[in-house]
Structure 1
Amino acid sequence: MDDGPAPLPAPSARALLVTVLGELVYPYEGPVWTAALIEVMRGLGVEEHAARQAIARGSAAGWIEAERHGRSARWTLADRGRRLIEDGMRRSAAFVEEPEPWDGRWLVLLVTVPQQQRAMRKRLYGALTWMGLGNPTPGVWLSPHAEAVDEARETVAELGLEASTLSFVGPVAGIGLSEDEIVRSAWDLEELGARYRALIDRYGDVDPAPGDEMLFTHIELLNALQRFLRLDPRLPVALLPDWVGREGGELFRSRRAAWSAPARARFREIAEAAGPG
């Protein structure tokens, strides 16, 4: 890999572990020794201590379950981990698909959370951002993906905010902000576009050798995809016709198609060769 500009800040050990679990452990369908996970994490630039800590925290979070063999362990995905991964798989599949024509409707949420409830505000903002909603003015969240209404309803209900939330689905009425102004106010697309361009510069011409190089490059790129999922609202062409993110989506789509099978095959070799660790 070259040392060009990073498309995103360096990922945490926890984030890399989630990618490894989803892309490698989930399809492996068997217990994996700690040593195999550490070998892959080390290849991704994570020191052993940090890798073990991430695994322990993944266990505490209910993502993985241990099968103890003396002081060593083999790991399988817990139900919570499977749900996390399957949700991520659905989102990533939708993310790299060609966008459907937009019908002009917006999903709009007006949510009031008292200033003193900072933890609640943080949870709400995190959930709505993960769904791709933008925040053009205080208390207003919106998305051109009106089909997200059911997920938004569940989020508001889980947080107990029904009594302080109003919602609408429909086109803008031409009062106040234009759609172009809404887009520029709701999302920081300039920084995101720069990150996409750095991603394309870094991975666009990469041709990793089979084996470890392909495995680690594949996981690095998938980890970037998972983080772009949280940043890119996937705006329709009608709102953002020349969006570099679509080129980024094609990069994710083509590289995953080419690299996933050989990367998983290499992981199987690592998993089957690993012993207690």
Structure 2
Amino acid sequence: MTSPYDIEEIFPGDFPGDAVEPVLLPRRQTGNSPQGLAVTLLADYTLRTRAWLPSAAIVALLAEAGVSHAGARTTISRLARRGVLEGSRRGRNSSYRLTEAAASVLTAGGRAIAATATDTGPWDRRWTLIAFSLPQDEATQRRELRGRLRWLGFAPLYDGLWISPHDLTDKAKARLVGLAPGGVTVFRADHVELDGIGRKPVDAWDTTAIARQYEAFLQRWSPLLPDIRAARITGAEAVRARTEVMDTYRRLPYLDPRLPLDLLPPGWPREPARDLFAAVYDGLAAPAQDHVRAVAGGFTTDPPTLIRAHTVADLLDCAPTPADRESRVRTPRTERSRTASRAFGASGGS
């Protein structure tokens, strides 16, 4: 089984039919990278509205998470070059927001995260198999195909044979188009037991290791619940905890992509982990939102109403609001910087 931190992209690249233009989100790593922190911060408080944040506010928020000012400015610059952020200028001041492409990919990822413990209904006990064969010199294409299959909830039973207990939807089929033309075949089949020989399909996932990840999550976050319920976690501490719980939990759905409970040991901890994630993430939404608004307000006179912390329920139905269209009118495209260096200019990103 792939380790939680070996997945090259939790939210891989552009999705046909989802993103309006290519975008490359930062790799997810062990611990929190500055780019990963920045993306989570922007997504947690501006995803639905694509609100603009002063670059100085982003730098200040990252500083509270231990990122140096120079490192934060480099992070913003790199995310702009990746197509994750777009910038605008007012005099010497610059602001950034998520691009439409990044917001689209993050919205799809948010739905997947929020839906991880929802009821999948009865399982028909059939498997979807994807067999592929790519030349050895097509390493990039092979890596991209495997990343896309991992995103779709598949796992490798054997080299070149990936499986899932779920049917392949039309949208999923569209996402595979063009990745390996002529080199992929899809089956929907039953598993035939061979009296103790052969490998069971569920062995494509290391369920023992997945359970350990769930248990580690439960042990890490359960002690915070009394303080959250008593409103004792506020300010920068609330933002840090909310960012960390999202960055920790978001990996679990890709290790355990809603496998049917019929395949899993009794007492599987998927639902308790999801409930704990919602309790922490939603419970800290109000104080974290207040703090992000306060930090942003220190660098702009614009009202912070477009900075909005969403809940787990919002992630299931996350879509741009009318405020997004209004914000686009207020900031004409001609004001946006085309490159990160232009956006920072002589002001140093303040």
* Band of TM-score, shorter chain: 0.7 to 0.9
1:36-51 equivalent positions in 2, closer than 5 A: 36-51=57-72
Question: Whole-Å Cα distance in 1 between the matches of residues 297 and 178 of structure 2?
Answer: 42
Residue 240 (str. 1) matches residue 264 (str. 2): yes
Change (3 A) 1:29 1:110: closer
Give the equivalent residue in structure 2 for 1:200. 218
1:123-142 equivalent positions in 2, closer than 5 A: 123-142=144-163
1:194-233 equivalent positions in 2, closer than 5 A: 194-206=212-224, 207-208=227-228, 209-233=233-257
Question: Whole-Å Cα distance in 1 between the matches of residues 207 and 223 of structure 2?
Answer: 24
**Total equivalences in the alignment:** 267
Decide which moves more: 214-223 or 40-49. Answer: 40-49
Structure whose residues are more often helix by fraction: 1
Which SS does the other structure have where 1:107 is aligned? strand
Give the equivalent residue in structure 1 for 2:344. none
Unaligned runs of 5+ in 2: 1-28, 301-348
Contact 2:213 2:252 in 1 (8 A): no
Which SS does the other structure have where 1:158 is aligned? coil
Question: Whole-Å Cα distance in 2 between the matches of residues 111 and 177 of structure 1?
Answer: 27
Which SS does the other structure have where 2:264 is aligned? coil
Give the equivalent residue in structure 2 for 1:163. 182
Give the equivalent residue in structure 2 for 1:182. 201
Deviation at 1:257, TM superposition (A): 2.7
Change (3 A) 1:190 1:230: same
Give the equivalent residue in structure 2 for 1:154. 174
**Which letter does structure 2 place at the counterpart of 1:274?**
F
Which SS does the other structure have where 2:116 is aligned? helix
Change (3 A) 1:235 1:225: same
After superposition, the CA RMSD in angstroms is: 2.5
Residue 90 (str. 1) matches residue 111 (str. 2): yes
Deviation at 1:28, TM superposition (A): 5.5
Deviation at 1:166, TM superposition (A): 1.1
1:14 to 5, 11, 35: 35
Give the equivalent residue in structure 1 for 2:308. none
Deviation at 1:80, TM superposition (A): 0.9
Change (3 A) 1:12 1:81: same
Change (3 A) 1:256 1:32: same
Question: Whole-Å Cα distance in 1 between the matches of residues 50 and 137 of structure 2?
Answer: 46
Cα shift readout 1:11-53 (whole Å, capped 9, x = no counterpart): 2222222211211122465311112112222222333333222
Question: Whole-Å Cα distance in 2 between the matches of residues 18 and 176 of structure 1?
Answer: 49
TM-score by length of 2: 0.69
Cα shift readout 1:223-250 (whole Å, capped 9, x = no counterpart): 1122323333221111114323332222
